[in-house]
A and B are shown apart, each in its own frame.
Chain A
Amino acid sequence: MSEQKLKHFVPTPPRLPATNEQNLLRRIQKQCFNSIGNSLLTISVLVLIYYVAKSFLDWAVFNAVWNAATRRECMDISPDGACWAGVIDWFNGLIYGRYPDEEQWRVNGGVVMGLLWLLPLMNRRIAYRNSILISWITLYPFLGAYMFLGGTFGQDVGIIHMVFTSLAAGYFILLYLNWMLCAAGQSSLPERVTPLTSKLFRRGQHMNGFLLVWAVLSILCGVALAQVNLEPVPVDRWGGLFLTLIIASFAITMSIPVGILLALGRRSKLPVIHWLSMMLIELVRAVPLITVLFMAVTLLPIFLPSGAEPDKLSQVLFAVCLFAGAYMAENIRGGLQAIPDGQYEAAQTLGLGYWLTMGLIILPQAMRLMIPNIMTSFISMLKDTTLVSIIGLFDIMLMARNISNDKNWIGLHTEPLALISILFFVMCYGMSQYSLNLEKRLKAHRS
């Protein structure tokens, strides 16, 4: 009865949001010329921008010299302009350092291969994306080192390096074969081999198929590579942007695992691990990078048995990795602290142990929270690598300074530095844009 007396509720239809539309001119007027003071400020800033831009463009573009044999010639043509001719003349040196000209294709090839290895990650629907990343970190360095160092299998290349290079090459080929088969709608190679392996082994069918195909491909690659004879290029010939990128990418990739381990160690309940991690982090963070670099180069050989002294690049890589790891550890620790206890408890009640809880539940969330900080660290690491020029590695910075010592280009300081500023800006800005993009993408499904 009473239900009949109730009124039926009908929701009011939604309206479009109220707008106060303004055209562009109106907005400019409102934001830049809304008072006499602001108008003056706007005008003076515009004038300032005009002068700075004009004098820079005059120097860098309009009065610049692009073709000349020596700096003297540059000065004769246009005394007020940039002498890009010197930079162009030295361009190969800036990029490859003292790497032999005829072998430079190997650097290009190695770098391109490293990028190609990561390319499948762009495809978000591809399976086992993590394993691609892990293989890139663990296997690619061997292949890259083989490309850059050269040498012949069995002579200059050690047995471990040979094996891992072959494994890496095999994995790389398998990756692309699978991707192509997948794109063509076919079943992947491991899946095709699985029936065969399941007759041989009982358990872990899928894994066995994969391992078998990988092993076969690796052996084939090993045999093929043994026929190739690459001219050995010792590490001290490496240089330029190439070396900078090697050091920076090594620091960036290693800082994550090292940082994770140190951060977990610092939060560990085991006193020895806790104190060791904390001391290492605090020690490294309290010392400037340059000191760490010098220590690595001068102190490290003392601790090692004589004769086992590693080359300077390895020492530098070790130092940079330690330094970057210590900073990353603090970033990651900040992220770990932001994860509520409930997450640990939920993982525990499911029965996940320490490493699974960390790897599947806590770290993925902590890392997402820390993307801006992590990216800031990456960017500063990339820039910090220029310090290695001080201990005599021919990175892009030292090569740029060397131009001014060339008898043809004596005193040419500004232009090479301007060029590497632009290069670094492009790289760092790219990284920061990528991190913004990543944040946006990961945030999309969170709130």
Chain B
Amino acid sequence: MTLSDPQAPAGKLSRPAIEIDNLNKWFGSYHALRDVSLTVGEQEIMVVCGPSGSGKSTLIRCLNHLEEYQEGRICVFGQELARDQKSDRFIHQTMGMVFQNFNLFPHLTVLQNCTLGLTWLRKKTESEARDIAMGLLERVGIEHLADRFPGQLSGGQQQRVAISRSLAMDPKIMLFDEPTSALDPEMVKEVLDVMVKLAETGMTMVCVTHEMQFARQVADRVVFMQDGEIVEVGPPEQVLLHPQWDRTREFLNHIL
């Protein structure tokens, strides 16, 4: 059993952003998360990897209240989450999430996808919202597609829209649930580039991904999960190049 390992780079753990303490979750009788404890520091980039079914997606969906959990506690910036799945305004204001399947709203244009939350929740006027959204779309390099509908875009472009849509709400933490797994190889890079740029701005990020190149490049720590447990946590050079556990090495041999 390896618990959370505070081997984060100095200066980054000034203040914990997310504290997960002995989290347990069952789907029916299936024990999906087993005593998961982990602390993510502010401005830290955390990459979660592991074979499919290891509970990594479930973990970050718990963070965002998309799944309820049965035991343990999660604190975000010191505030504890309710355990049952109720929409929690604080959480959704603090965290943005990017999904594997983009989940853009197909009946709205790219721009409307990004301004929706701003006009309806942040009570911005239409022109303010438009300015913010266009700025973000520019940052991810698709401002020229603002008036298209998601169905007219490639996967990589859609995922970049999804990232801007989340960023528009000005979250403190971004969660990425396998953001590149549904993409053609040629489009993976454009999404990763956006994520690297985002990491450079000091955003706290938790990414479930198999892109080890990305992990090596920007991650502060890498978490390896197996069967609902955290096997290994540490800086990328350590976990990816000199893993302590046989299971980690086996997994890395498969995907690298």
Contact = CB atoms under 8 A, between A and B. Distances in A.
Given A345-B66, A445-B152, A352 B104 contact: no
B151 A350 contact: no
A346 B87 contact: no
Contact of B120 (A360, A364, A447): A360
B156 interface: no
B254 interface: no
B106 interface: yes
Interface in B107-127: 107, 116-117, 120-121
A345 B99 contact: yes
Interface string A423-447: 0000000000000000000000111
Contacts of B66: 345, 348-349
A380 to B, nearest CB: 27
B7 to A, nearest CB: 30
Contact of B116 (A343, A360, A368, A446): A360
A9 to B, nearest CB: 15
B89 A351 contact: yes
A346 B104 contact: yes
B120 A352 contact: yes
Nearest to B101: A342
A353 interface: yes
B107 A350 contact: no
Interface string B221-250: 000000000000000000000000000000
B96 A349 contact: yes
A363 B107 CA distance: 11
Contact of B105 (A343, A348, A445, A447): A343
Interface in A221-237: none
Contacts of B101: 342
A347 B95 CA distance: 13
A441 to B, nearest CB: 13
Interface in B75-117: 87, 89, 92-93, 95-97, 99, 101, 103-107, 116-117
Nearest to A349: B97
Contacts of A447: 151
Main secondary structure of the interface of A (DSSP, over half): helix
Contacts of A368: 107
A351 B91 CA distance: 8
Contacts of B93: 351
Contacts of B97: 349
B214 interface: no
A350 B99 contact: no
Interface in A307-366: 340, 342-343, 345-354, 356, 360-361, 364-365
Contacts of A347: 105
Contact of B117 (A342, A350, A446): A350
B25 interface: no
Interface string B44-61: 000000000000000000
B165 interface: yes
Nearest to A354: B87
B104 A349 contact: no
A348 B107 contact: no
Contacts of B162: 346
A445 B152 CA distance: 8
Contact of A365 (B96, B107, B166): B107
A447 B152 CA distance: 7
A348 B65 contact: yes
B64 interface: yes
Which of B95, B104, B116, B166 has the most chain A CB atoms closer than 10 A to its own CB?
A: B116
A1 B66 CA distance: 53
Nearest to B91: A351
A361 to B, nearest CB: 6
Contacts of B38: none
Contacts of A360: 116, 120
Contacts of A356: 120-121
A346 B121 contact: no
Contact of A349 (B64, B106, B107, B149): B64
Contacts of B165: 350
Contact of A346 (B89, B99, B151, B152): B99
B151 A446 contact: yes
B105 to A, nearest CB: 6
A2 to B, nearest CB: 21
A201 B97 CA distance: 39
Given A345-B66, A345-B99, A446-B151, A352 B105 contact: no
Given A345-B99, A350-B166, 15 more contacts: A342-B103, A345-B66, A346-B105, A347-B105, A349-B92, A349-B95, A349-B97, A350-B92, A351-B87, A351-B93, A354-B87, A364-B107, A365-B105, A446-B149, A447-B151
26 contacts: A340-B103, A342-B99, A345-B103, A346-B99, A346-B162, A348-B65, A348-B87, A348-B92, A349-B96, A350-B92, A350-B121, A350-B169, A351-B89, A351-B92, A351-B117, A352-B116, A352-B121, A354-B87, A364-B107, A365-B105, A368-B107, A445-B149, A445-B151, A445-B152, A446-B149, A447-B151
Interface of B: 64-66, 87, 89, 92-93, 95-97, 99, 101, 103-107, 116-117, 120-121, 149, 151-152, 162, 165-166, 169
Pairs A-B, 4 closest by C-beta atoms: A351-B92, A346-B103, A342-B103, A349-B97
